[in-house]
Amino acid sequence: MATSNPTGAALALWNPGADEHDPISARTYGFWLYLIGDALLFCSLFASYAVLDNPVNAAGGPLTAQVINTPHGLWQTFIILASVLAYSLGTVSLKNGNAAGVQLGILAALLLGGAFLYISGTDLWALAAQGNGPTRSAFLSVFFTLLLTHGLHMLFGILWMLVMLVQVGVLGFTKDVVGRLLNLRLFWQFQATMWVCVYFYVYLLGGAR
């Protein structure tokens, strides 16, 4: 509201109702910041990987080229990208409040995510069964840790999707639910982005050395 000072000029001193900030955009921004922190977490893992991917640190065990399955990795890349696409198309249905479309998108993304984890899990399990588990050498420790960190993120994303499937049905498109759906999209997309980095760094570069 305007008030006048002794000199008579109008001054705006108070602004009633101006504290209603945009909660969804604050929320996605905060989540974006979390993702940057998460990216730095992956970044430190990559730095550790770069250090430990070295014959000294293999302690006589295998190095990257012997433990990866590059074609599997490529399939995983396609699967995770498709999963992100499915979720994203789900959020397109969100634009006009189509709950069934959103749920369908989430469900497809969830199943594809599960397929991704299945490939990852069986590959790592087979490796450990050969005696090249994470306790074999420092290199294998970081190899497993990097892939499992990504896998745990995916698992968490799947849990989140399950919760959202229920919430879309039970709560409908409230402000909180919509904010969460947007954040989950960022989170799921972020996993694909990180997987591209993993695939490039571990599977392609590591495999080439």
Partner 1 sequence: MSSHYNPLQHPEVQQGTTGRYIAAFLASAALMGGAYYASTQKLPLMEFAATAAALSLAALVSQLALFFGLNISQAQIWKGVALFLAIPLFIITIGMTVWAFSSLYSRTMPMDGMLMSGQPTLLQ
Partner 2 sequence: MQVAVDGPWSPLLGRLSLAAIPYDNPILVSTFAVVALLGIVIIGAALYFGKLGYIWREWLTTVDHKKIGVMYIILGLVMLFRGFMDGAMMRTQQLLADGPNSPGYLGAQHGYLPPYHFDQIYTAHGTLMLFFAATPLVAGLGNLIVPLQIGARDMAFPYLNATSLWLTVSGAALCMISLFVGEFSNATWVGLMPFSEMPTNPGVGVDYWMWAFQLSSIGTTFNAINMIATIVKMRAPGMRWFRMPVYCWSSLTTNIIGLSIFPVVTVALTMLGIDRYFGTHFFTAGYGGNFMLYVNLFWIWGHPEVYFLMLPAFGLFSEIVPTFSNKALFGYPTMVAASFSIGGIGWVVWAHHFFTMGMGPELNGYFSAATMLVGIPTGVKAFNWLFTMYRGRITYATPMLWALIGLVLLLIGGLTGMMLSASVFDYTVHNSLFVVAHFHCMVLVIGAALFAGVTYWWPKVFGFKLDERNGQMYFWTFVLASLLVFVPLFYLGFAGVTRRLDYIYNPALKPLLWVSEGGIGMYFVSLFYFGKMLYVSLRDQIPAQADAWGTGRTLEWLTHTPVPFYNFAVTPQINARDELAWRKAKGVEGVQPTHYVPIHLPSNTAVPVIIGALATVFGFAMTWRIWWLSIASLLAIIIVVIIRSFDKNEGYVLSAEDIAKMENQVALASIIAEQPKRPALAQVEAH
Residue 173 lies near partner 1 (rule: CB under 8 A): yes
Beta strands (DSSP E) in 87-128 are none
Amino acid at 53: D
Place of tokens 């001054």: 11
Residue 201 lies near partner 2 (rule: CB under 8 A): no
CB of 20 to partner 1, least distance (A): 7
Please give the Cα distance from 167 to 177 (Å, whole number): 7
Helix (H) or strand (E) holding 37: helix 23-52
CB of 98 to partner 1, least distance (A): 10
Q: Which is nearer to partner 1, 74 or 125 (CB)?
A: 74
Residue 144's binding partner among partner 2, partner 1, none (Cβ under 5 to 8 angstroms by kind) is partner 2
Nearest to 198 by CA among 106, 73, 14: 73
The DSSP code for 13 is: -
Residue 96 lies near partner 1 (rule: CB under 8 A): yes
- Contact predicate 190/35, CB 8 Å: yes
CB of 194 to partner 1, least distance (A): 10
Hey, how many other C-beta atoms are within 10 angstroms of the C-beta on 166?
11
Residue 69 lies near partner 1 (rule: CB under 8 A): no
Nearest to 198 by CA among 133, 143, 141, 122: 143
Residue 82's binding partner among partner 2, partner 1, none (Cβ under 5 to 8 angstroms by kind) is partner 1
Residue 4 bridge partners (DSSP): 10
CB of 25 to partner 2, least distance (A): 7
Residues at the contact surface with partner 1, assessed by CB under 8 A = 20, 22-25, 28-29, 32-33, 36, 39-40, 43-44, 46-48, 50-51, 54-56, 58-60, 70-71, 74, 77-78, 81-82, 84-85, 88-89, 91-92, 94-97, 173-175, 177-179, 182, 186, 189, 192-193, 196-197, 199-200, 204-205, 207-209
